[in-house]
Amino acid sequence: MLFLPVVLLLSLVAASPVAPRDLCQGSKTVVSTQYIGQNKDVKLELITCDALSTSKAIENGALLQARQTPNVCGANCATHCFTPSGGGPDPNECHVIANALRFDSQNIGQIFTVSNGSANILSLTYSSCTTFFLNQASTPLNYCRTDFAALVDWLAPNCQATQNAHGGLCVANDGRWFVQVQHS
């Protein structure tokens, strides 16, 4: 029974990865850049745009009601791998990002916040791997670093050439956010 809604939701997603810079319509501003993790080798950027390109974003992300909680830790998401195969990120390099998120979870705090609006992107890059969390809700969202790390560790090796893919994403069941993993 859950299969049909997942198929409908995935039909809204483009069949190829979208770079964070390509999600923006109009101007894009890197609000902050820092390096995270034990070795400070994972680049974290907070990116904000005038608006998201409607052809690139998932349509029902703006359905968040004010009465709903902004904490989406533990929320379910549907996975979609980008076809065809070839050119995906190195899962070992993506694992460095996941470990940096876990390190920061233990040393800074479990939860991070991505500001309101559908034009706020948290992007992390290490070598060939880029992952990002995109807030499509009309309010800020809190998400757990360990959940983000787990998604990176799951998507990177499971959306590779052996699955006829080159990266992928996991879209929240309610469409408020998604996490994407792709080649840098």
**CA 165 – CA 59 distance, rounded (Å):** 23
Domain residue limits at 120:
3-183
Alpha-helical (H) ranges within the chain are: 3-10, 20-23, 91-107, 145-158
CA separation, residue 64 to residues 29, 32, 117, 129, 172 (Å): 25, 26, 10, 30, 12
Decide: pTM greater than 0.75: yes
Q: State the pLDDT at residue 9.
A: 34
What is the number of domains present in the chain?
1
Each of the 184 residues of the chain gets a pLDDT tens digit; together they read 333 233 323 333 444 556 555 677 777 888 899 999 999 999 999 988 776 655 444 444 444 445 544 799 999 999 999 999 888 999 999 999 999 999 999 999 999 988 876 568 899 999 999 999 998 888 889 999 999 999 999 999 999 998 999 999 999 999 989 999 999 9
**CA 184 – CA 174 distance, rounded (Å):** 27
Which backbone phi and psi does 64 adopt, to 5 degrees?
Answer: -65, 130
Kindly report the average pLDDT of the chain as a whole number. Answer: 81
Q: State the pLDDT at residue 47.
A: 87
